[in-house]
Amino acid sequence: MPDMLVEVVLVLVAVAVYFTYWIKYTYSFFEKYNIQYDKPIPIVGSMGEVVFGQKNMFDKLQDLYNQFNFGVAGIFEMKTPVFLIRNPELVNQMMVKDFEHFVNHRTCFTGDYDGLLVDSLVSLTDQKWRDMRATLTPGYTGSKLKAMFEFMRETAKESTLSLKEEMRDGRTDIDLGEYFMGYANDVIATTAFGFKINSMKVKDNHFFKMGKSVLGNFGPLVVLKFCLLTNFTKVARFFRISILSRKTHLYFMRLVIGAMKQRFEQKIFRPDMINLLMEARGMDVQGNQSSSCSQKWSDTEIAAQCFFFFLSGFDSVSTLLCFISHELMENQSIQEKLRDEIKGVLEELNGNQLTYEILNSMKYMDCVVSEALRKWPPNSMTDRVCTKSIEIQDPETGERIELTPGDKVWFPIVGIHRDPKNFVDPFKFDPERFNEENKGNINPNTFIPFGAGPRMCIAHRFAVMEIKVMVFYMFSEIQVKMSEKSCVPMKLDPATCLTFPKNGFWVKLLDSKK
């Protein structure tokens, strides 16, 4: 027995020594660089507050940005060292000029049902990403956006009418999160998948429920899964950890492939994403096979593009619409000025339909949306992985830093957007920053809500159009006031990786024509 006890003690000592050495080796990465870095907590690194549900990722990124003074700093995503690029000029240089050294985002999905994430445009790498980007780009030209605008316009009008019907039934206090999710869901359904639904009237439709179920799972467990997939890949693979469920995977596979099959058999043409992906498979509008298609895309690769379009549109668009409404609720004078512009446009239309060109000519609308994108960017950060060795220089210190293949880089968008050096009084919602007189004073490298360079969000113009048309119709009919349940001041929910307040976006609605 004593011998066994000695052996146990020796094993424990060996494990303790190894763990101590591992921690010292892992977290001394930035010692060789003359840059500031966050002193990590073992295992969780710089992300402890996020992993344990104490702080929202949006707020944590801003804290990390504010913690440092120079253009390049170091943080740890659990055990993974990450270069935090704070200087706007260096951000632009790496995203644009030096793009060939930072082509890819990090990829971490490996689970059985994550093929829809693995094969989405944002996760594809190198030449495969270039091919898919080239395939999808024609779907976002001005002419294609103009065609899809008609679908959006009808959806926005129907969503506004549905909201007014609820108001007539006496429901004036409402959580706009659910409402705008329904609108975003309906736009995606009609512009990407080719079917029409009204999620305000038919709230139990399967497409809407699937979207809510996917986003509803983005809590602490998903944060932990992301961390394991990114930092302990072998462990995650061993336990076959997936972000998506089998149900979600099968639903979208059947939805996309089934829609393509139906259109092929019935010779249906519709200017949407399904048609674009059919063309990518070598089919013309009559459904005849073409030999001109150079890239053969699998079913999962095709479905993945629709799924990610659905996921990003469902969350990003609906959330930004919520924040716009919240800011207009808190700033009544801004809301009135926007409504005056909308009223003027309606008078000029004189009963005719809103057009793509007229919407894009609305200057104050553009200021309001731009300021919302600045204060509440859809992504708190974007990332890159170094693919070819390069030396970068911190413009603020002159320090030269050698990056090698595999090094991780984060660009903290929320920190740059809310830095008082870039925007005076950054926490104030002030659309006038973007008016004709002032917008020339903005350094374009400090306003990057959709990223920059070749990997800039491919659907950013689509998203902005979708947001503007909804704002137009909603605020032409409705005033937004503060409710007893309104989250003022705004406080983000620490228990989710989504940018969302804990108790929702509650507002009081009034009919603007009474």
111 versus 221: which is more confidently predicted?
Answer: 221
- Mean pLDDT across 298-302: 88
Q: What is the pLDDT of residues 197-216, one digit of tens each?
A: 888 888 778 888 887 777 65
Whether 248 and 113 have beta carbons less than 8 Å apart is answered as yes
Q: What is the pLDDT of residues 459-478, one digit of tens each?
A: 999 999 999 999 999 999 99
User: Mean pLDDT across the chain, nearest whole number?
Assistant: 88
Burial class (CB in 10 A: 0-12, 13-18, 19+), 69: exposed
Strand 408-411 to 382-385 pairing: antiparallel
pLDDT of residue 452: 96
Whether 67 and 59 have beta carbons less than 8 Å apart is answered as no
- In angstroms, the CA 142 to CA 131 distance is 21
- Three-state SS string over 388-450 comes to CCEEEECCCCCCEEEECCCCEEEECHHHHHCCCCCCCCCCCCCHHHHCCCCHHHCCHHHCCEC
Whether 282 and 294 have beta carbons less than 8 Å apart is answered as no
Would you mind telling me the total number of residues written for the chain in this entry?
514
Q: Which of 131, 315, 79, 320 is nearest to 212 (CA)?
A: 315
410 pLDDT more than 90: yes
CB contact set of 262 (below 8 Å; sequence gap of 6+) = 268
pLDDT of residue 38: 95
pLDDT of residue 284: 56
486 pLDDT more than 70: yes
CB contact set of 19 (below 8 Å; sequence gap of 6+) = none
pLDDT of residue 387: 96
* Domain assignments of the chain as residue spans, ordered by start: 33-511
pLDDT of residue 221: 67
Q: Mean pLDDT check: name the lowest of 57-66, 254-263, 268-277.
A: 268-277
83 versus 51: which is more confidently predicted?
Answer: 83
To the question of domain 33-511 being in CATH 1.10.10.10, the answer is no
Residue 190 CA, distance from chain mean position: 21
242 pLDDT more than 90: no
- For the chain, the farthest-separated pair of C-alpha atoms sits apart, in whole angstroms, at 95
Q: Mean pLDDT check: name the lowest of 220-234, 278-292, 420-434.
A: 278-292
167 pLDDT more than 90: no
pLDDT of residue 244: 79
pLDDT of residue 280: 76
21 pLDDT more than 70: no
pTM above 0.95?
A: no
In the structure, what pLDDT confidence band is assigned to residue 292 with cuts at 50, 70 and 90? very low
- Mean pLDDT across 244-264: 85
pLDDT of residue 126: 94
